[in-house]
Amino acid sequence: MAVVLAKATGDLPTIPAGQLLRWLAPNSPVWLGDLGFEASPDAMITNRFQTEPEDAQRGATLYQAYCSQCHGADGAGGGAIGLSLVEFVATSTDWQFLSTVKWGRPGTAMAAQPLEDIQIWDVHAFLKRESRAWAAAVAEPVAGIKVSAPLERLLNPERYPEDWLQYSGSLEAHRHSALGQITKANVGSMRVAWVSQLRQATKPLSATPIVSNGVMFVSEAPDGVTALDASSGKVLWEYRRPVDPSKLPLCCGAFNRGVAILDDSIFVATLDSSVVALDAATGTKRWESQVADPADGYSMTGAPLVVEGHVIVGVAGGEFGMRGLLAALSPKDGKLLWQFDVVPGPGKPGNDTWAGDSWKTGGGPTWTTGAYDRALDLVLWTTGNPWPPLDATVRRGDNLYSNSIVALERTTGKLKWHYQFTPEDTHDWDATQQPVLTDVSWQGETVPVVIMANRNAFYYVIDRRNGKFLFAKPFVKQTWSKGFDNNGRPIRDPASLPSKQGTLVWPWMHGGTNWWPPSYDAARKLHFVPTVDAATQYFTVNMDYEPATMTMGGTTRLAENQPSIMAVKAIDPGTGTVKWTTRLDQGDFHAYARIAGLVSTDAGLVFAGYERQFFVLDSDTGSILWRFNPGGQTNAGAIVYAADGVQYFAALAGSTLFAFSLPQPLQGAEAAR
């Protein structure tokens, strides 16, 4: 219905009405269902069906019969027309290929071809295979641009505010920029500087771009990385490593949250649980290292963290009965340096917190990105839910180290300390939120701490030297805990446990916040956090559990007739006090992937996104200073960077990357007009 409505309102002009109705039929080889999410054929119509080698082989036969005379025997050009179809496929969307072959191009020699839709996809599969070889053959360094991010730059980002070199902007995960060209006084004049349409995806892209030396790198789910000129959005190179999300254990969609950089290498974690290193100047692969086996329930969706001599990655799959882990790889060759198992095996501290053999399928994913304390040489990472998420009867105990923050020695991966936010979780409250490192004044002493707004509705401040609990305070409504004991252990209210009739609990299952990255302004001592104030009904259900199969252990329903509010809040980490709240929406929230990550600046601005809106807030008051509708859903971390002396705010909406700046003086011929 949503697709028909989009056509009726003029949002799908490139698809004839009759053809659209035929493609809406069951078993159509052209899937239109995602157009109801975003009315963009280029973004949402993909070759979902032809993924096997035999598909490409059928396509090769069809290509020779219908295409080779004009485009050459190998698709690289040289026939009657000479146009390289492998280059066209490598640089165009699947929809552009399908529509060109189906209807031709008026005014050119390209006529409509007498092929069925499924045959067009077969030819596309063949050319896609050939295009990967073509891309590798023509790869060359970007002319005039040297891409390099030595460790010194990563360790001292404050000296290089023009770059954005880590997923969270800095190893302390502040997501804050010292750039001040865009201010409260002029942000109202900010406009689109450039737009780049990236690869189509079935859900909004969720990556935070990396910027180094005027080049931007962004991952694209499910299978790629693209490099762009950070001043213009021009694509410099593309890397593709095809995977089939339908054959992977994915609870929530094919996501990738970003890449990492060190020296002249780009690192990306893949959906099928490998890490790939790319040449930053060409996009050619340098090495690939498998971290875990998807057959065991593993996937990877997070951005790597680069610290001294290590590329550290986590895994997803907490709903599939895997055992969470963190892996540190050598940036030179991908060799495994150490592995930390979130769920400890027999004889290891914490194994006795799992009843029976439940540790074997304990969950504890690590699917977001951690932080690094250089002074203490500690990697701090948060972990997710135990398995099954909603049923503790089969895994009695605290279930260490699920729903925790762990501090690991960088050189060895050995556990230095931990703090568990939600022992024996029965509400699926992953603790996979962004840990942020700062200092607070506590009992007359300046204490180095890790601060975190947790999915379980509490705001935590923890001494990062030893994991000592300092305090926690709710930042949204909660009904599951009666407080904390002297060791910082939550005192659970038994009335909050799931039940057959349904138990109403705040916060809702997706939490008071989720993976959406917060921002921290150290000068203002304000922690800016995307939040949700809502409730869920939790139901117990009798079911069987099979590892590597998605199982929740219960069911949930968003509480009816209860207030639900999405907002950005500014929190004082010294006290946990909410200083201001900016409401984004209020009502019935059945989808939670609607908030973008935040970034703040010295100029007193917080850049954000929600639904189909980008906006900028006043850091001191929360008032909205600027809005823009990008036309696509926002669900990614925003960044601030500079190129050629111009400050930009950049973020993804749907499958499109937007960069904004203040109006710039016209140059050259444009100025002469």
Retrieve residue 330's tokens. Answer: 């050598």
- Number of H helices and E strands in the chain, helices first, is 10, 38
Which among 380, 457, 439, 474 is positioned nearest to 573, based on CA atoms?
Answer: 439
209-234 burial, b at 16+ Cβ within 10 Å, e below that, comes to bbbbbbbbbbbbbbbbbbbbbbbebe
Give dist(CA 425, CA 422) in Å, integer. 6
Q: Is 7 exposed, middle or buried (0-12, 13-18, 19+ CB in 10 A)?
A: buried
Give dist(CA 308, CA 115) in Å, integer. 55
Catalytic residue, from 373, 428, 430, 533: name it.
Answer: 428
Report helix, strand and coil shares of the chain as percent, to nearest 5: 15, 35, 50
DSSP, collapsed to helix, strand or coil, labels residue 195 as strand
Identify whether 117 is a catalytic site residue. Answer: no
Give dist(CA 322, CA 634) in Å, integer. 30
Q: Is 79 exposed, middle or buried (0-12, 13-18, 19+ CB in 10 A)?
A: middle
Are 434 and 517 within 8 A, CB to CB?
A: yes
* Half-sphere exposure of residue 442: CA atoms within 13 angstroms, side-chain side: 17
Give dist(CA 646, CA 491) in Å, integer. 51
Are 94 and 45 within 8 A, CB to CB?
A: yes
Q: What is the number of other CB atoms lying within 10 angstroms of the CB of residue 343?
A: 28
Q: Which residue do the tokens 């150290």 mark? A: 522
Give dist(CA 614, CA 606) in Å, integer. 11
The secondary structure of 213-266, three-state, reads CCEEEEEECCCEEEEEECCCCCEEEEEECCCCHHHCCCCCCCCCCECEEEECEE
The dihedral formed by the CA atoms of 116, 121, 126 and 130, expressed in degrees to the nearest 10: 130
Q: How far is CA 311 from CA 306, 333, 372, 624, in A?
A: 5, 11, 12, 38
Give dist(CA 33, CA 484) in Å, integer. 47
Q: Which residue do the tokens 């109403």 mark? A: 504
Retrieve residue 424's tokens. Answer: 């024996």
Task: Write the DSSP string, 293-362.
Answer: -GGGT-B--SPPEEETTEEEEE-B-TTTT-B-EEEEE-TTT--EEEEEESS--TTSTTGGGS-TTGGGG-
Give dist(CA 360, CA 132) in Å, integer. 39
Which residues participate in catalysis according to the annotation? 428
